[in-house]
Amino acid sequence: MIKIAAFGGYSKIGKSMTIIDVDGEMVITDMGADIERLVDYEDDKSYISLKDTEALAQNGVIPDDREFFRKHGKEVKAIVLTHGHLDHIWAAPFLAAKYHCPIIATQFTTKVLEHLMRNVKQHNLRILTLNPRIKYRLSKDISIEFVHMTHSIPNTAISVVHTKYGAVMYANDWKLDETPTLGKRPDYERLEEISKEGIHSLILDSTNVDQDGYTFSESIVRTMLEDVIKKTLSNKTIFITTFSSHIARIKNIVEISKKLGRQVMIFGRSMEMYLKAAADTKIIEKGKFPDVAVKRDRINEFLKYVRDRPGKYVIICTGHQGEKGAFLDKLTTGQYDYKLGSDDAVIFSSRVIPTALNIANRNMLQKALDDLNVNVADNIHVSGHASRNEHKLLLKMLRPKHYIPSHGGLDKISSGIEMGKELGYELNKSSHILLDGQELVFD
């Protein structure tokens, strides 16, 4: 018997956590935070510690696994983390230790997790770094494997629980990038092999399943960025803001800027964390990247050079969602010794993640930039989530017996169910709607 229970990440994006139960032996995939609620919670707190665990669960910041743990804690054989985005791993330092089982993750995810653990002084997690294509046996009946997949953060994997009923696959999150600028294409060869062995069920990130066509490759953004940087007048200083975890994007910006004769500076705390994880895992060459400036004095010191030599620098920074306290917010509100103006350009290599808070923050940031006559380019970006045609490709390739769309709420899940119908998947027989708090049982 296989049971799949949704703790988070199905009814809305965030707080991803799923329990895969194979004849009473359980695997937890992902332990993430609800980022919106985390931001709210952080607003009232100067520091979050392990003592906050219960309050975090009560406030919906992390999955509430208290009852589950009481009933089934001993049956959990492993906690598997698929990639380093905070909506998939942030809760692990708070929730994982009590299970007394290994946390299994790929190299980059491990490094990000270690950083999160240090932040809250959690030292009691047993982390096992597992590379793709290697099967790790959890018991005589089940084993775990990662299959390399493309997304918007290095070392993303589809997790596979091998069982006697077939493989249970969890693909949160993913896109099919044929020409990634960092790392390899998806491991189609291994996916096809697993498909031949038989796939029981596939849990599939549906964030963009309602978008027609394909999600473009990261190499397209590289070209877009080069185009925009070239078109920005040579006397302007360029600030580029993007997702700190998007190492491929940051690496491309550094390389393009250097090629075009500009020096690069990187500002912001989250940039520091993710770039350190990338350097530690040799995903980037540390020597080719500038040190990240985080503290105000250091940033001011750097900004002095920028002021003296307009047009000579590209500054990669945090703040693309207009978040309070990020570099761009502080820059536009006069908290650094640098006055933004018509000699500056700001490039958003991002899109607004559409929550009410982000939209409001981003609008305020835009108004501030407009008032200062800054040259703005927006949405120099492609998504890290697969569109409809890629969903069809992957489903046709894998042919799971059961298709379970996830990640994006009921609207997206319904789009997934519709798409599945075109490929012969029938609701409640071979495709299933699963929302947070619900479970599916396959006898």
Q: How far is the CB of 200 from Zn ion (least distance, A)?
A: 24
Listed ranges 8-16, 55-63, 81-89, 191-199: which one lies at the site for Zn ion (CB under 5 A): 81-89
* Minimum separation from the CB atom of position 386 to Zn ion (A): 12
Amino acid sitting at position 312: K
CA max distance for the chain = 70
| Distance in Å, CB of 107 to Zn ion, minimum | 17
C-beta of 85 vs 111, nearer to Zn ion: 85
Q: How much is the CA Rg of the chain, to the nearest whole Å?
A: 22
In the complex with Zn ion, which residue's Cβ is closer, 251 or 407?
A: 407
Q: Which is nearer to Zn ion, 90 or 313 (CB)?
A: 90
* Binding footprint of Zn ion, residue count (CB under 5 A): 2
Q: Which is nearer to Zn ion, 85 or 249 (CB)?
A: 85
CB-nearer residue toward Zn ion: 52 or 173: 173
Query: In terms of CB distance, is 268 or 384 closer to Zn ion?
Result: 384
The beta-strand segments (E) located in 329-390 are: 344-349, 375-377
Query: Binding segment for Zn ion among 83-91, 111-119, 284-292, 346-354 (CB under 5 A)?
Result: 83-91
Cα angle value 422/425/426 (rounded, 5°): 110
Judged by CB under 5 A, the chain residues 120 through 179 that form the site for Zn ion are 173
- How far is 202 from 395, CA to CA, in rounded Å? 9
* Least Å from the CB of residue 406 to Zn ion: 12
CB-nearer residue toward Zn ion: 172 or 361 = 172
Q: Which CB sits closer to Zn ion, 150 or 281?
A: 150
Distance between CA atoms of 58 and 236, rounded to whole angstroms? Answer: 48
Q: How far is the CB of 228 from Zn ion (least distance, A)?
A: 25
Residues 6+ apart with CB under 8 A from 318: 241, 244, 267, 268, 269, 270, 271, 326, 327, 328
Q: How near is the Cβ of 159 to Zn ion at its closest, in Å? A: 13
Q: How far is CA 431 from the centre of its chain?
A: 26
- Do the Cβ atoms of 374 and 340 come closer than 8 Å? yes
Our finding on whether 85 is near Zn ion (CB under 5 A) is yes
Q: Residue 173 or residue 218: which is nearer to Zn ion going by CB?
A: 173
Distance CA 152, CA 177 (A): 10
Q: Does 407 bind Zn ion (CB under 5 A)?
A: no
| Residue span 172-211 as binding mask against Zn ion, x where in contact by CB under 5 A, dash where not | -x--------------------------------------
Is 35 or 95 the residue whose CB approaches Zn ion more closely? 35
Q: Which residues are bridge partners to 264 per DSSP?
A: 314
Measured CA to CA, the distance from residue 2 to residue 24 in angstroms comes to 9
What whole-number distance in Å separates Cα of residue 393 and Cα of residue 415? 16
Considering the complex, what minimum distance in angstroms separates the CB of residue 87 from Zn ion?
7
State the minimum distance, in angstroms, from the CB of residue 410 to Zn ion. Answer: 20
Q: In the complex, what is the shortest distance from the CB of residue 353 to Zn ion, in angstroms, rounded to a whole number?
A: 11
Where does this chain touch Zn ion (CB under 5 A) — which range of 85-93, 115-123, 304-312, 373-381?
85-93
Name which of 261 and 354 has its Cβ closer to Zn ion: 354
Antiparallel, parallel or unpaired: β 199-205 and 166-171: parallel
* Residue 281: CB minimum distance to Zn ion, A: 17
The answer to whether residue 15 forms part of the interface with Zn ion (CB under 5 A) is no
Closest to 69 measured CA to CA, from 26, 13, 117, 112:
26
Binding mask 37-56 for Zn ion (x = CB under 5 A): --------------------
In the complex, the smallest distance separating the C-beta of residue 173 from Zn ion, rounded to whole angstroms, is: 4
Long-range contacts of 114-120 (CB under 8 A, 24+ apart): 115/273, 115/276, 115/277, 116/89, 116/90, 116/92, 117/93, 119/93, 120/48, 120/49, 120/50, 120/93, 120/94
**Residue of 240, 252, 319, 318 lying closest to 289 (CA atoms):** 252
Smallest distance from Zn ion to CB 354, Å: 16
Q: Of 85 and 391, which has the nearer Cβ to Zn ion?
A: 85
Neighbours of 129 (CB within 10 A): 15
Does residue 80 contact residue 157 with C-beta atoms inside 8 Å?
no
Which one of 49-57, 79-87, 227-235, 346-354 is the stretch in contact with Zn ion (CB under 5 A)? 79-87
> Which residue has 């900004």 as its token pair?
303
- In Å, what is the CA distance from 75 to each residue of 2, 68, 84, 88? 14, 10, 25, 22
Residues of this chain that bind Zn ion (CB under 5 A): 85, 173
